[in-house]
Amino acid sequence: MFISSAFAQAAPAAQGDMQSSLMGMLPLVLMFVVLYFVMIRPQMKKAKEHKNMVEALAKGDEVVTAGGLLGKVTKLNESFISVEIANGVEVQLQRSSVVQVLPKGSIK
């Protein structure tokens, strides 16, 4: 009889421990949700925009590369582009190195 009453008293305490452990994990879950919306989601959006920009490159576009070179696209390939950085000077670059497409007439 003594053992039975001990089990009966332990059951509600175990349920309370379960609720407190779930409440203890709540700040951790909220932190991951905030991290997703503040850091991960905007970075994925930016990567998608960059991919679309690189795919939309066309001959004659004026671009800025990751190395800071400004030039006009002269040739397009599957994964490489040729950029004219001065009269008669062309460099071959990877498409992914293009950081920005400038408005027409930006480079004089």
Whether the predicted model's global pTM rises above the 0.75 cut: no
* C-alpha pair distances (Å), 87 with each of 24, 61, 91, 106: 66, 16, 12, 16
What pLDDT is stored for residue 5 in this prediction?
55
Can you give the residue ranges of every domain in the chain?
1-56, 57-102
Find all residues with CB under 8 Å of 95, minimum gap 6, and list them: 54, 57, 79, 80, 81
What pLDDT is stored for residue 1 in this prediction?
53
Does domain 57-102 correspond to CATH entry 2.30.30? Answer: yes
Q: For the chain, which ranges sit under pLDDT 70?
A: 1-16
